[in-house]
Structure 1
Amino acid sequence: MILQESGENYLETILMLQQQNGSVRSIDIATHMNFTKASVSRAMSILKRENYILMEADGNIILTETGLAKANAVLERHLLLTRFLRENLGVSEETAEKDACRIEHVISPETFTGIKKLIKNS
């Protein structure tokens, strides 16, 4: 299944929160993304159904192998694009973050690979 932009954002958020806090619950995601608990709950149900996450009995959310791979890919695109926009185009940190968040979902693998090569060579 092709994951929608919102699903990718949720996976990226779960990964970042996991790295920061060690564990993640729906309320953490809702707070971080400024979404309602109901919206997060619906999204978690979809991500669970599609085998991107597991929900433990105590409410902790765990990325599956598939979910972790997808979350890492999205986070890598986000970080690299943010850096590219700041360092190569002189865009402010705030604008680079916002734009990278939008671009990361639509950029082609070919273009991303090109940007990656450019940054590694600079």
Structure 2
Amino acid sequence: MKSPADMYKSVEGAQEIPPYQRVQKLLQGAIVKLEQAQLAHKEGDMALRGELMGDVVTIIGFLQAALDMEKGGEIADNLDALYDYMTRRLGQFYLDQSLDSLVEVSKLLGDMRDAWDGVAEQMKSA
């Protein structure tokens, strides 16, 4: 499994783009990997599904570790709790094998990505 640092480095051009765009790319990558994991599950490819879900957990862990809990205040606390929740929901999948948890986490990540898209628009107009 890739380390969070390796996952971050794998985001194409990560060092040349602003931090908010890095977050957008990581969120999008997690969404794509969850979609691929759902397909792998439906096709019975458990090894690929496990690898993809491991990547998603790594991305979420990286985003969580990057939170500045001192400066971030309530927003950082809420994001930390949300990342914990998403990780638990992904773990729940292994217990019940229901795609509901994967769909839920994918939606949550999509909502977060959409919010960061709004940040990107604000940054462009500033």
| TM-score, with length taken from structure 1 | 0.32
The structure in which a higher percent of residues are helix is 2
Q: Which has the higher relative contact order, 1 or 2, with Cα contacts under 8 A spaced 6 or more apart? A: 2
The structure in which a higher percent of residues are strand is 1
| TM-score, with length taken from structure 2 | 0.31
